[in-house]
Amino acid sequence: MRIILKDGTGIVDLKFLRSDFDRHGNVRLYCRRKGRSIRLREKIGTPGFIEEYRAALVAIDGAVTLPSIKPAAPESLRWLVQHYIRSADFQRLNTTTQTIRRRDLDGLVERHGDKRFGFLENRHVRALRDERSNSAQGPTPHAANNFLKTVRSLFKWAVEVNLLERNPARDVPKIKAPSDGHHTWTEDEIRQFLARHPPSSKAGLAMALMFFLGVRRSDVVKLGPQHETPDGYLRLVESKGAGRQKKITTLFIQPELRAVLDSHSGAHLTYITTAYRAPFSVAGFGNWFKEQCRLAGLGHCSAHGLRKAAATVAANNGATEIQLMAQFGWTTPGMAAHYTKRVNRKLLATQASKLISIEDQKGNESVPLLGGVAPGGTNRAKYDAISMASKQGGVPMGGRLLSLRARSLAAASFSHSILGFYLLIRGIGF
């Protein structure tokens, strides 16, 4: 296994280095030789790790000689990457983002590390993007777009420190993905999950937290009683982007969620703990929750898909983009639109159709196109009532006039959501 040294001095190939994952999704490293394995616990790439690896080889094989470290040639991509990962720009990224970008950068260095970065052009970056998109398992546009995001940051930093005159990745477009990413949970799938994992279980608690709060898995693993405020809210600093700018989010604890939380012991600093009563890592929680989905017969579902479901339910109930941004921690309206693609278009189209009318040029009144009978058999009086309601800013809903403004203000609450209704009919007692 080839690793980049943390001090930026080069790359070393550790022939007997192996890795696997524990049941919580954490990476474990070993020195494996002649059927024996010795666990390595130092941080990979550090001098302490290299010394620990050398000592493990000595314990297994006696005296050994480590492979020489390959220094990076000046002005090569390897040299640029090594300096970038030591920069303040890279170091202030959160751990998860660093891990993802290191994976992309390591792959770039592995294939093209000895090439000179000063000669890179737009067409070269496009070719690298396409190269990353093609894998043995088929097209992977999301991986290619993540890679493009990584190299954009790399070359942007290079321009800022005067190593490049321009960013060759800036104008390279992302690949249009044929799918919407993570599967969005449906109402039936939420019910199916809760039938296998009731709210009294740890998995049911995890679902309630993610659905009612709309938090990311990087936030749900650190939520606990210490984040609760006396007035019934949860106040936390979002993990995503915390290295660049801290975003403090305040989320309302709905009665349904409050009941679920009260049914669990509050003896720990986090609501959700491992089998060893310790907080989950982000990756560990994702793997654990994925396993709970499989146990419920929902192997295609994930934690992130549940967040998308919560946003979709809110949008179906009429939540505005501003409300969605506040609830889910998005900073641009575009993200709200991205997460609500599955909004109930039938309901919206029905409401919009009731607003279609022709104004009389003299009396400024709505006139149906088909005389006394409106489309669909609606009589004249009822059709006129619909048209008048539309002028007053409201839409008839079940015989009652609900103003669009009132509907918008009420939409942010999830009190009548799928999970709340399901918990009520289960008779939990709130």
Most distant CA pair in the chain: distance in Å? 102
Inter-residue contact 42 to 48 (CB < 8 Å): yes
Instruction: Write the secondary structure of 249-278 as one string of H (helix), E (strand) and C (coil).
Output: EEEECCHHHHHHHHCCCCCCCCCCECCCCC
Question: Mean pLDDT lowest for which of 25-34, 147-156, 283-292?
Answer: 25-34
Amino acid code (one letter) for 69: I
**How confident is the model at residue 289, as a pLDDT?**
94
The whole-number average pLDDT for the span 91-114 is 85
Inter-residue contact 78 to 11 (CB < 8 Å): yes
Q: How confident is the model at residue 333 (pLDDT cuts 50, 70, 90)?
A: confident
Place of tokens 């007692």: 429
DSSP state of 225: G
Looking at the predicted structure, is the pLDDT value of residue 111 above 60? yes
**How confident is the model at residue 136, as a pLDDT?**
59
Inter-residue contact 106 to 4 (CB < 8 Å): yes
CA distances from residue 285 to 94, 181, 186, 327, 419 in whole angstroms, order as listed: 17, 20, 22, 22, 21
Nearest to 281 by CA among 42, 92, 28, 54: 28
Whether this model's pTM surpasses 0.75: no
Burial 237-256 (b: 16+ CB within 10 A, else e): ebbeeebeeeeebebbbbeb
Burial 74-88 (b: 16+ CB within 10 A, else e): eebbbbbbbbbbeee
Segments of 57-151 assigned E as strands = 134-135, 138-139
Amino acid code (one letter) for 232: G
Going from N- to C-terminal start, the domains of the chain cover: 2-61, 77-160, 187-342+416-425, 354-410
- Check residues 6 and 263 and name the one with the higher pLDDT: 263
The whole-number average pLDDT for the span 380-404 is 40
Let me know if domain 187-342+416-425 sits in CATH 3.30.1300.30: no
For residue 266, the number of C-alpha atoms closer than 13 Å in the C-beta half-sphere is 12
Average pLDDT, the chain: 77
Chain segment 406-430, per-residue pLDDT in tens:
333 433 444 344 455 444 434 433 3
Nearest to 338 by CA among 311, 360, 362: 311
**How confident is the model at residue 397, as a pLDDT?**
36
**How confident is the model at residue 286, as a pLDDT?**
92
Inter-residue contact 208 to 199 (CB < 8 Å): yes
Looking at the predicted structure, is the pLDDT value of residue 35 above 50? yes
Residue 247, phi then psi, degrees to nearest 5: -115, 115
Segments of 22-152 assigned E as strands = 27-33, 36-40, 134-135, 138-139
Q: How confident is the model at residue 227 (pLDDT cuts 50, 70, 90)?
A: very high
Q: Looking at mean pLDDT, say which of 140-154, 318-332, 333-347 comes out highest.
A: 140-154
Question: Mean pLDDT lowest for which of 112-121, 125-134, 341-350?
Answer: 341-350
SS3 146: helix
